[in-house]
Amino acid sequence: MALFSKYILGMIKKVLLFALLILSVVSYAQKAQRIGFIDMEYILENIPEYKVSQAKINAKAVVWQTNIEQHQKKIEDLKAELTNEKVLLTKELIIEKEEDIQILEFDLKKLQVDYFGTNGDLYFLRQQLVKPIQDLVYNSVQDIATKRRYDFILDKSSSLIMLYTNKKFDISDLVIKSITRSKKAAALNDKQQNNTNAESRVVNEESQAKLSDREIKKAALKKKIEDRKAAQLKKREELKAAIEAKRKKRKKDIEDNTKEKN
């Protein structure tokens, strides 16, 4: 009941805010204000490039989330293994295993930030794929608002509550047509500017070269980590073998002493 009341109060506040906005516009204006609205979701759904970009982003996000889950499972498995073997291990081996787990947990947190953090790969991928499309929409809206002398353009799909809208003030289709024309003009311009395209290819090649260099460094770092882990594993195995040999020798000494006494 409390949640429902809070919801009703929130709705009332938004309605009052919207009404206050309209009243402020009317009282401030010396002439009749022209107000239009768009449906951003409808516009984006009718832009093929946006759907392609969203599909790429979703596919990448699934891959990154899978990597994180695999990393988490590896940590859980190591913790379970340590719990089961703790009674058989020396204090040194226990500390070493706990340190390995801590390293993996640190790597997991870093991986999560790298993928989904404020400045992570997902953010930059959105900036690269989606933001140009959003900018195209905003530029088209501003162009239409200027040419048709609209004073306000509201977004129907936003959190702002619009209790009633007249379809004749919906400029969403105009925005889509404007974007289509802009894309055709841009395609024609690109076709005419071969030199610019050549420069763009050079830039892309340089970017690929930088990316390749980054991959090389990443591979080298990965190998270094794997070598260190292999060395740690070898050290643990040698220590376990030494402990086992010492245990067998002590057992044999006890048996020999027993035989001598008998």
pLDDT band, very low/low/confident/very high, at 121 (cuts 50, 70, 90): very high
Q: Determine the average pLDDT of the residues in 26-54.
A: 77
Q: Determine the average pLDDT of the residues in 80-95.
A: 88
pLDDT at 30 over 60: no
Percent of the chain with pLDDT over 90: 19
What's CA 218's distance to the chain center, in Å? 20
pLDDT for position 203: 67
Q: pLDDT tens across 4-19, in order?
A: 344 444 554 554 455 5
pTM across the whole model = 0.51
3-class DSSP string for the chain? CHHHHHHHHHHHHHHHHHHHHHHHHHHHCCCCCCEEEECHHHHHHCCHHHHHHHHHHHHHHHHHHHHHHHHHHHHHHHHHHHHHHHHHCCHHHHHHHHHHHHHHHHHHHHHHHHHHCCCCHHHHHHHHHCHHHHHHHHHHHHHHHHHCCCCEEEECCCCCCCCCCCHHHECHHHHHHHHHHHHHHHHHHHHHCHHHHHHHHHHHHHHHHHHHHHHHHHHHHHHHHHHHHHHHHHHHHHHHHHHHHHHHHHHHHHHHHHHHHC
- Sorted by where each begins, the domain ranges of the chain are 216-262
Q: pLDDT tens across 164-199, in order?
A: 666 777 777 888 888 888 777 777 777 777 666 666
